[in-house]
Every structure is written in C-alpha cells, then in structure tokens.
Amino acid sequence: MIPASRQRNYLQSALYVVIAGVVAALLLERLLAYAEAAEKFAMEATVSQLNSALYTRVAYLALRGEYEAIEALPRQSPFVTTRTLATNYLGEADGVPADAVGSGKWLFDRTRSQLVYLPNLKRYLSVRSESGSGSEDQIRFRLDLAKASRFTFTGVGLRPAIPYSWEPLP
C-alpha cells in the first residue's frame, strides 16, 4: 500500500492514464455498436410499418375496385402512398443527392422506383454493390405485388432490391 504522504511518480500516473484510456476506448466502441444496432432496428421498424400500411392500402383499393391504382403502387413512394409521416423522409428525387449520403434518411428514387435508406452508421453494413453504381452505403427496397390473377392480389411488401447484411451486434 502506498502511504498518503508519498507522491505518485510519473510511471504510475502514465499507467493510470493508459488504463483509463483503454477502458474508455472499449466503452466507446461498444456504445457505437449499440447506436448502430438502434439505427438498424429503427430502419426495420419503419419498413414493418410501411408494409402494414401497404397491406391496408391495397385492401382498401381492391375493395373499391381500383385495380389500376394497385398496379401503379410500385412506381410511387410508399411514404406518399400510405400517407405515413416520418421526420427522416426527404421525399422523392431522381437518383440519390450527394448531400444526402450517410444521413440516416429515407428517400424515393424515381428513376429506379426504389425506396432508399441512407444509413448514418455503417461499420457493420455490407451491401452487394451493383456494377459501378456506388451503392455500398445505401439500402434499397422495391415494392413487390404478388398476384394470383388479374384482380386477385395475394400480397404486397417492401423487399430488398440489393442483398445486404447489417449485423452490428453478435
């Protein structure tokens, strides 16, 4: 035990600083992984909410006999179609604006008719890149309509347009 009257030497102080730095680095890395997991879960919750609203919208249109409106759904933004409000929805655009990349926002790409999520944290995100499209930092969804016949719809939902894997936590 070190007597209270004895002052610490420089080696002891440096050791304390190193230990505190290592503990802080481990804590910050784990907190960053949890923040990325929270962003992933928020994105998945939004997709789930949109899927539920799309089922309701298709059922409503089918009951009214508006089959042409149902056929047009894949070319429209799911946020607009379902009248879903989201503070991180940027709207519709032709392509992805350069200033929106990495912002944790949603947008609808009119040129591809795809819903795009631009993640803020993406250390554990792996997107299979299209040839030269530069979409390694985007998660893209397309709206799929499942039909049994011309006037019979068996399902609707947002499906990943490009395969991706996002596993921030083991």
The pLDDT tens digits of the residues spanning 119-129 come to: 999 898 988 86
Domain membership flag for residue 69: yes
Phi, psi dihedrals of residue 24, rounded to the nearest 5°: -65, -40
Q: What is the pTM of this model?
A: 0.81
Of 103, 114, 121, 116, give the one whose Cα is nearest residue 168.
Answer: 121
Of 116, 48, 108, 119, give the one whose Cα is nearest residue 81.
Answer: 108
Domain membership flag for residue 22: yes
Domain membership flag for residue 146: yes
Domain membership flag for residue 132: yes
Q: How many domains does the chain have?
A: 1
Domain membership flag for residue 4: no
Q: Using an 8 Å Cβ cutoff, are 118 and 104 in contact?
A: yes
Torsion of CA 16, 22, 23, 25, to 10 degrees: 140
Over residues 105-134, mean pLDDT: 84
Domain membership flag for residue 1: no
The pLDDT tens digits of the residues spanning 23-40 come to: 999 999 999 999 999 999
- Domain extent, residue 78, equals 10-166
Domain membership flag for residue 5: no
d(CA 119, CA 110): 19
The pLDDT tens digits of the residues spanning 66-96 come to: 989 999 999 999 999 999 888 889 889 888 8
